[in-house]
A and B are shown apart, each in its own frame.
Chain A
Amino acid sequence: MTSLRRHLETKLRAETFWKKEQIMNFKRASLPIPRRPEPPEPARRLDAIARRQPLRRTPAVVSLGDAGLDGALPEGGLELGVVHEVVPAGAADMAAALGFGLGLLARIAGSRTGPVLWAVTRDPGRHGAAYPVGLAAAGFDPGRLVHVDARTARDALWALEESLATPGFAAAIAVLAHDGRHYDFTASRRLSLRAAASGGTALVLWAGGDPERGGATAAATRWSIAARPSLPVHHPGHPMPGLGPPRWRVELQRCKRGRPRHWLVEWDHETIRFHLAAPLADRAPVHEGGPRQHPAVFGRRAA
């Protein structure tokens, strides 16, 4: 009898205690919280260290060569120290995606010294192998290239990760021609963490995510590339016009702190820059320098 009474008393005391707590919490929540003034910078840093939160640094960026493109990116340029993805829009756009990826690589590698890693997987679709003279024609120095034939995507991503951890590498690209399912959110997150720790930049060119799963990865940007007809170069006496600079429809599909957008972009292999192109094929492209002169002498070409 006494134990039952003591039990009931304890229960009643506990309930009253929790009800009092609830009332106190409600009172606290409804009061306006006075806002403290922003502490100065060193104090903020110490705060962050004390709370073990990562401090948001201004990230290093590299310009893509065109003010319009740079302005559209949230950081004012291509961010360094992250992973970027390039995805071909269709099965036949692999070369276009590779060309765009090469342009990004040339811009990134131009700001640093050291070799550039190029990791490839097996190529059952027979898209072809990277041709160093063609890379030179596109404006990329093939003497800086280290080509690693990692047969599987796992090995290619491992090579990418290790090169990110080595500060002597300028940039790295992994071309996952097939077997892209190994590149999922976990793998991309690992790459991103490694890139953030060391400051290196990695590019992954793959065939796109699994549409059922949404294809989400931890990369900073995802670019989708499709080939577009280039500006014709007319020559008198020739039935067919010549080729202009390579032109692609570049769509920024995913971007942290940015909006998806798309442009028509050309690559200039002599100045190693991107240019925004006008949508109509026969109009001169609009950019800062005014209409560009196309060389009219037969034999001098842009690659």
Chain B
Amino acid sequence: MLAAVSRHGQRVTAADPAAERAGIAPDMPLADARALCPALAVAPADPDGDAAALRRLALWCGRWSPWTAVDGADGVILDVTGCAHLFGGEAAMLDDQCRRLSGFGLTVRVAAAPTPGAAWAVARYGSGTVATIPEGGAAAALAPLPLAALRLDDATVQAMARVGLKRIGDVQGKPAAPLTARFGPRPVTRLDQALGRQAETVHGLMPAPRHEARRTFADPIVLTADVERTVAELADDLATRLAAAGVGARRLALRLFRVDGRVWTVTVRTSALCRDATHIIRLFRDRLDAGHEELDTGFGFELAVLAALAVETAVARQDGLGTAPDIATTAPATLADDVARLLDRFGNRFGFDRVVRYAPAASMIPERAARPVPVLADATPSDWAVHLRAVQGGDQLGRPLLLIAPPDPVTALAEVPDGPPVQFEWRRRAHRVARADGPERLAPEWWQPDPGADRLTRDYYRVEDVDGRRFWLYREGLYERPGEVPRWFLHGVFA
């Protein structure tokens, strides 16, 4: 029996059948419950844990249909349109669901109906463990159920009861306008949704796959080697389906359904269209290798599903004749493909934000002159020619090889206010400057609405100390402007 602390003290949240027989009901104070039954086992209620467990169960119910959602605090709703034939018919599927879920130790009531509203009503207020409403039979099946089965709140139900409307059958034949005027739009909307006159969709927890390959195991598999072999078979299967449909996948998900009600999902993404089984297998194998510590098989996996979540139309391309890794005979398109696949593997292993190319940005501020572009994005080749001309042409001082972000403050001593420093101290080491170039003045970008930290003009100097090490220093703030206190920073290191 579960109890929780609410604003009126400790109250009973849920009671098992034995406690209910003793007369304990939910929302009764705990002291009263203890008085009714002294030898009572009380456990603290954990609503967050319950919600998490229900979500896991909803994900696990994805073995029957990809559109599953959590329904309230004690239910799971599935959209099984078009899924029943995979399990031998609707009746067989419902029996399977009932059997498996009660095998977890849960008390289950399953109902299938043409609309979510009707299914909700029959599951909670109907009779029997398994109920089916045939197409067009919703009105007849819902008629004897109480009005609370229409997902209305207590106040509305009581108001309607005062008028004499107690069952759904009472409301079904009535005109809508007086009901709406009296009780608001909700009852009529709910009735229409239950009877199918208004559409209602189930928003699934998982994205729905476009193409899918699945394998069921008579004996649950436990070993990682078995999982990898399964992935290989599923990848072959899925590649055939994708090729037959003329599409390529950009996002793939591997879902492994455990025997005890949990799902383990691995998602990989590719930068280019993929329908090559070997590439898919390598991507998943990298992920399984990298995350094999978290792969908790529990009692084993009994169902493996490989789904292509995002697909795009593929354009067929002519391959080169050479297959050996000899650059001279391999077509450049194949080489580019190999590079793209390797970058996919890097991205899936390290994260796509950590595999980047650099594109030039039109800014003189050094931190913003180049921006990282993830390889997943469209790979338009960036044009560094303009930048190359600018830095190599000698109009600028030159840019450092390594940039320190954020810049390190240094204490520097300059001979003249506008001149380069003659010595400076950085990271507690003193450097005496032997050579210096500069200054190069970079002003803040006045067209930016909020320049932020770059409000002050910077004078950059390229200095070399007596040991031959070169640094990129700047002085922020100008002496001739009142209110600015010039400070020195070290922004980068040259080769």
Residues facing B in A135-163 (CB within 8 A) are 135-139, 141-143, 145-151, 155, 159, 162-163
Whether B397 pairs with A134 at a CB distance below 8 angstroms is: no
Q: A142-B358, A146-B355, A232-B435 in contact; A163/B401 too (CB < 8 A)?
A: no
Tell me if A129 is interfacial: C-beta within 8 Å of chain B: yes
Q: Size of chain B's interface in residues, with CB distance under 8 A?
A: 68
10 A-B pairs, CB-CB below 8 angstroms? A95-B493, A114-B335, A128-B405, A134-B403, A134-B494, A136-B384, A139-B392, A147-B356, A167-B335, A227-B467
* B328 vs chain A, min Cβ distance (A): 10
Q: A114-B335, A128-B403, A302-B398 are in contact. List 19 more A-B contacts (CB 8 A).
A: A95-B495, A128-B404, A131-B492, A134-B403, A148-B350, A149-B350, A155-B350, A163-B342, A167-B335, A168-B339, A227-B469, A228-B468, A229-B464, A229-B466, A229-B467, A230-B435, A240-B436, A247-B468, A301-B394
Q: Nearest residue in A to B490 (C-beta to C-beta)?
A: A128
Q: Choose the segment among B4-12, B67-75, B193-201, B367-375 that binds chain A (4+ C-beta atoms closer than 8 Å).
A: B367-375
Interface residues of B (CB under 8 A from A): 325-327, 330, 335-336, 338-339, 341-343, 345-346, 349-350, 354-358, 360, 366, 369-370, 372, 375, 381-384, 387-388, 391-392, 394-405, 408, 415, 419-420, 422, 433-437, 462-464, 466-470, 492-495
Residues of A within 8 A of B388 (CB): 136, 141
- Bound-state CA distance A100–B327 (Å) is 28
Interface residues of chain A, those whose CB is within 8 Å of chain B, are: 92-93, 95-96, 98-100, 102, 112, 114-115, 126-139, 141-143, 145-151, 155, 159, 162-163, 166-169, 198-199, 227-230, 232-233, 239-244, 246-248, 267, 269-270, 295, 299-303
A115 to B358, CA, bound (A): 12
B494 and A95 contact, CB distance less than 8 A: yes
Q: Judging by beta carbons under 8 Å apart, are B402 and A299 in contact? A: no
Nearest A residue to B405, CB-CB = A129
Q: How far is the CA of A214 from the CA of B400 in the complex (A)?
A: 34
Q: Complex Cα distance A115/B355, Å?
A: 13
How far is the CB of A227 from the nearest CB of chain B, in Å?
4
Nearest Cβ on chain B to A82's Cβ, whole angstroms? 17
Known A155-B350, A240-B435: A134·B401 in contact at CB below 8 Å: yes
> Which residue of A129, A159, A198 is within 8 Å of B402 (Cβ)?
A129
Closest B residue to A125 using CB positions: B427
CB < 8 Å: which of B326, B339, B350 contacts A114? B339
Chain B residue contacts of A142, Cβ below 8 A: 358, 370, 384
Docked pose: A127 CA to B404 CA in angstroms: 7
Provide the residues of chain A in CB contact with B354, threshold 8 Å.
Answer: 148-150
When distances are taken between beta carbons in the complex, the residues of chain B under 8 Å from A300 are 394
Measured between beta carbons, the chain A residues less than 8 angstroms from B357 are: 115, 143, 145-147
Cβ of A92: which chain B residues have Cβ within 8 Å of it?
A: 467, 469
In order of increasing CB-CB distance, the 10 nearest A-B pairs are: A99-B495, A128-B402, A303-B398, A168-B335, A300-B394, A131-B403, A168-B339, A149-B354, A227-B468, A132-B358
Which chain A residues lie closer than 8 Å to B470 at the CB level?
95, 227, 230, 243, 246
How many angstroms between the C-alpha atoms of A199 and B349 in the bound complex? Answer: 25
Chain B positions within 8 Å of A159 at CB level = 346
Q: Say how far B268's CB is from chain A's closest CB, in angstroms.
A: 16
- In the bound complex, CA of A133 to CA of B435 (Å): 22
Assess whether A141 is in contact with B325, with CB atoms less than 8 Å apart: no
CA gap between A114 and B341 in the complex, in Å:
14
Contact of A99 with B468 in the complex, beta carbons under 8 Å: no
Say yes or no: B402 contacts A230, CB within 8 Å: no
Taking a contact as CB atoms under 8 Å apart, the answer to whether A270 and B392 are in contact is yes
Contact for A95 among B366, B394, B402, CB less than 8 A:
B402
Q: Are A166 and B384 in contact (CB under 8 A)?
A: no
Contacting residue for A143 out of B382, B391, B468, B495, CB 8 A: B382
Alpha-carbon distance A127/B358, docked complex (angstroms): 20
Q: Which of B354, B366, B419 gathers most chain A CB within 10 Å?
A: B354
Q: Judging by beta carbons under 8 Å apart, are A131 and B384 in contact?
A: no
User: Do A98 and B401 have beta carbons less than 8 Å apart?
Assistant: yes
Q: Which residue of B lies closest to A167 (CB)?
A: B325
Most chain A CB within a 10 A radius of its CB, from B358, B396, B403, B492: B358
Contacts of A269 in B (CB 8 A): 392
Could you tell me the distance between the alpha carbons of A131 and B350 in the complex, rounded to whole angstroms? 21
Q: Do the beta carbons of B384 and A141 come within 8 Å of each other?
A: yes
Report chain B residues within 8 Å CB of A128: 400, 402-405, 492-493
CB-defined contacts of B434 to chain A, threshold 8 Å: 229, 232, 240-241
Q: Using Cβ atoms and an 8 Å threshold, which residues of chain B touch A233? A: 435
Whole-angstrom distance from the CB of B357 to the nearest CB of chain A? 6
Q: Are A162 and B350 in contact (CB under 8 A)?
A: no
A58 CB → nearest B CB, Å: 17
Assembly CA distance A302 to B403 (angstroms): 19
When A148-B355, A229-B464 are in contact, do A169 and B339 touch as well, CB less than 8 Å?
Answer: yes
- Say whether A130 contacts B401, CB under 8 Å: yes
A137 engages B346 (CB within 8 Å) = no
A232 CB contacts on chain B under 8 angstroms: 434-435
**Residue of chain B at shortest CB distance from A270:** B392
Complex partner residue of B338 from A145, A166, A227, A242, CB under 8 angstroms: A166
A141 to B358 CA separation, bound complex (whole angstroms): 10
B391's partner among A136, A168, A198 (CB-CB below 8 A) is: A136
Instruction: Determine whether the beta carbon of B468 is less than 8 Å from that of A229.
Output: yes
Nearest A residue to B347 via CB reads A148
Contact A134 B399 (CB under 8 A): yes
Q: Which residues of A contact B493 (CB under 8 A)?
A: 95, 127-128
Give Cα A49–Cα B462 distance, bound, in whole angstroms. Answer: 58
Q: Please name all residues of chain B whose beta carbon is closer than 8 Å to the beta carbon of A129 when the two chains form the complex.
A: 402-405
State whether A240 touches B433 (Cβ < 8 A): yes
Q: Are A243 and B437 in contact (CB under 8 A)?
A: yes
Instruction: With A99-B494, A134-B401, A134-B402 as known contacts, state yes or no: A303 contacts B338, CB within 8 Å.
Output: no
Q: State A220–B392 Cα separation when bound (angstroms).
A: 33
Of B384, B391, B462, B495, the most chain A CB neighbours within 10 A belong to: B495
Report chain A residues within 8 Å CB of B356: 146-147, 149
A249 to B, closest residue via Cβ: B468
Q: Taking each of A131, A141, A198, A230, which has the highest tally of chain B beta carbons within 10 Å of its own beta carbon?
A: A131
Q: Is A95's CB under 8 angstroms from B420's CB?
A: no
How far is the CB of A137 from the nearest CB of chain B, in Å?
Answer: 4
Give, as a whole number of angstroms, the nearest-CB distance from B290 to chain A: 9
Complex interface: chain B residues within 8 A of A228 (CB)? 468
When the two chains form their complex, are residues B401 and A240 in contact, meaning their CB atoms are under 8 A apart?
A: no
